[in-house]
């Protein structure tokens, strides 16, 4: 409070623990309320601006943290900050990759290894610590994004996770669906694919109506068959082939809502549960869906880790529902010419 007084050039600050008492409201130039509220089970600190004499209040509330005893508030996120490198000043992007990795406070201390314990680092150190070491190997991670959050945000978060997987030359299979085609996905991954070898590690397959371009080596030579069984068989063959080509590496799947529905339909039609096959062949499966997805899929029940990406007072917040962790503010950094994220504890 003393810091605020000095910055504002104020002479007095009145502190009241009873916001209902408005006796002094007409005397002061500004009124600020500090609250704690529950959002989706998270305890979130919120600062509300109810009066600023002579100043228009364009946004009345912000979330904030007191992490390490320091007050830090968070502005509403801007989708423009999450534009891919292809669309946002990428002249020297390759030269700045290492710089951004150093600046990312959420970056991991080490890359994942096939022989490393029972966890695969997420690429965000604070989240890994809260989860006991990262994502469980052979596990399923469900990332549910609030429907109002732009898809660019999810892609940026995903790029941070995948970049950490690629550090140790581990292959990644990614489903292009939900109106996001392979070219868009690659535009977010390109800053981390500095060699042809790295590019070969990323395989993108299409399950929707997006057209494939056979000339692109990073994308599978597959046209939408319009048939769940054929798509499932293709997916199975792709996993087996990748596992065979990289027997001593971690294999990570990234699946969207379309493939989740395909798997559910296949299980119902064939009476065969495909998940044991996926879990036994791949080392980690990420399910990227929108919140309020169809409950018949039982995604929450099958997930080992369940993450929620939400917007509170316009700011981005990530937290794990299963296992439960503290929430984190999601902050973007474009200093290297492309979006990279870091997590800051909301305490």
Mean pLDDT of the chain: 83
Residues 52 and 138 placed together within one structural domain of the fold: no
Q: Is 209's pLDDT higher than 50?
A: no
**Residue 200: which domain range?**
79-345
Rounded to whole angstroms, how far apart are CA atoms 338 and 90?
A: 7
| 139-145 and 135-136 beta bridge pairing | unpaired
Across 1-12, average pLDDT: 74
CATH number at residue 210: 3.40.50.300
Q: How confident is the model at residue 112 (pLDDT cuts 50, 70, 90)?
A: low
Residues 167 and 133 placed together within one structural domain of the fold: yes
Among 189, 180, 232, 166, which Cα is nearest to 209's? 180
Determine contact, residues 31/51, Cβ cutoff 8 Å.
yes
Report pLDDT for 111: 63
Across 269-285, average pLDDT: 87
Among 28, 67, 60, which Cα is nearest to 46's? 60
Q: Is the peptide bond before 126 cis (omega within 30 degrees of 0)?
A: no
Determine contact, residues 346/45, Cβ cutoff 8 Å.
yes
Q: How confident is the model at residue 282 (pLDDT cuts 50, 70, 90)?
A: very high
Rounded to whole angstroms, how far apart are CA atoms 184 and 82?
A: 12
Q: How confident is the model at residue 326 (pLDDT cuts 50, 70, 90)?
A: very high
189 lies in some domain? yes
Rounded to whole angstroms, how far apart are CA atoms 324 and 271?
A: 33
Q: How confident is the model at residue 322 (pLDDT cuts 50, 70, 90)?
A: very high
Q: Is 336's pLDDT higher than 60?
A: yes
Report pLDDT for 210: 38
Determine contact, residues 96/337, Cβ cutoff 8 Å.
yes
Residues 47 and 9 placed together within one structural domain of the fold: yes
Residues 199 and 281 placed together within one structural domain of the fold: yes
Residues 32 and 105 placed together within one structural domain of the fold: no
Residues 106 and 32 placed together within one structural domain of the fold: no
74 lies in some domain? no
Please give the backbone phi and psi of residue 209, each rounded to the nearest 5 degrees, phi first. Answer: -100, 5
52 lies in some domain? yes
Report pLDDT for 206: 82
63 lies in some domain? no
pLDDT tens digit string along 300-320? 888 999 999 999 999 999 999
Rounded to whole angstroms, how far apart are CA atoms 190 and 81?
A: 17
Determine contact, residues 191/339, Cβ cutoff 8 Å.
no
Residues 87 and 49 placed together within one structural domain of the fold: no
289 lies in some domain? yes
Across 29-48, average pLDDT: 91
Residues 186 and 89 placed together within one structural domain of the fold: yes
* Of 198 and 331, the one with more pLDDT: 331
3-state class percentages of the chain: helix first, strand second, coil last, to nearest 5: 30, 25, 40
Q: Is 288's pLDDT higher than 60?
A: yes
DSSP state for residue 11 in the 8-state scheme: S
Residues 96 and 231 placed together within one structural domain of the fold: yes
Report pLDDT for 221: 43
Determine contact, residues 323/305, Cβ cutoff 8 Å.
yes
Q: Is 183's pLDDT higher than 80?
A: yes
pLDDT tens digit string along 55-72? 888 899 999 999 999 999
Q: How confident is the model at residue 208 (pLDDT cuts 50, 70, 90)?
A: low
Highest mean pLDDT among 95-109, 169-183, 198-212, 257-271: 169-183
Rounded to whole angstroms, how far apart are CA atoms 343 and 347?
A: 12
Rounded to whole angstroms, how far apart are CA atoms 171 and 250?
A: 7
Tell me the DSSP string of 293-342: --GGG-HHHH-SEEEEEEEETTEEEEEEEETT---EEEEEE-TTSS-EEE
Residues 37 and 87 placed together within one structural domain of the fold: no
Residues 22 and 149 placed together within one structural domain of the fold: no
Q: How many domains does the chain have?
A: 2
210 lies in some domain? yes
| Helix pair 257-270, 228-245: axis angle to 10 deg | 110
Q: Is 265's pLDDT higher than 90?
A: no
167 lies in some domain? yes
Residues 142 and 185 placed together within one structural domain of the fold: yes
270 lies in some domain? yes
Report pLDDT for 294: 59
């Amino acid at each position: 409070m003393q810091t605020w007084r000095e910055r504002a050039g104020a002479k007095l600050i009145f502190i009241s623990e009873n916001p209902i008492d408005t006796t002094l409201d007409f005397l002061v130039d500004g009124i600020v309320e500090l609250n704690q509220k529950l959002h989706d089970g998270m305890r979130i600190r919120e600062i509300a601006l109810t009066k600023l004499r002579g100043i228009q209040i364009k946004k009345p509330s912000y979330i904030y943290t007191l992490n390490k005893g320091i007050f830090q508030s968070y502005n509403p996120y801007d989708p423009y900050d999450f534009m891919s490198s292809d669309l946002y000043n990428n002249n020297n992007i390759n030269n700045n990759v290492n710089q951004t990795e150093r600046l990312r406070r959420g970056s991991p201390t080490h890359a994942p290894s096939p022989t490393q314990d029972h966890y695969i680092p997420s690429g965000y150190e604070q989240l890994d610590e809260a989860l006991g070491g990262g994502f469980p190997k052979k596990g399923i991670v469900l990332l549910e994004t609030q429907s109002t959050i732009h898809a660019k945000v999810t892609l940026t978060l995903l790029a941070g996770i995948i970049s950490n997987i690629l550090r140790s030359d581990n292959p990644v299979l990614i489903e292009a669906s939900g109106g996001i085609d392979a070219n868009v996905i690659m535009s977010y991954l390109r800053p981390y694919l500095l060699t042809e070898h790295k590019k070969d590690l990323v395989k993108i397959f299409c399950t929707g109506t997006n057209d494939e371009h056979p000339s692109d080596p990073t994308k599978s030579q597959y046209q939408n068959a319009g048939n769940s069984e054929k798509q499932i068989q293709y997916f199975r063959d792709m996993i087996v082939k990748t596992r065979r080509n990289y027997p001593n590496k971690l294999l990570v799947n990234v699946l969207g809502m379309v493939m989740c529905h395909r798997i559910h339909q296949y299980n119902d039609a064939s009476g065969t549960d495909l998940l044991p096959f996926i879990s036994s062949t791949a080392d980690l499966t990420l399910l990227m869906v929108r919140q309020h997805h169809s409950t018949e899929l039982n995604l929450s029940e099958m997930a080992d880790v369940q993450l929620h990406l939400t917007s509170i007072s316009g700011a981005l917040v990530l937290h794990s529902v299963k296992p439960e962790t503290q929430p984190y503010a999601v902050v973007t950094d474009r200093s290297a010419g492309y979006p990279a994220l870091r997590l800051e504890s909301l305490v």
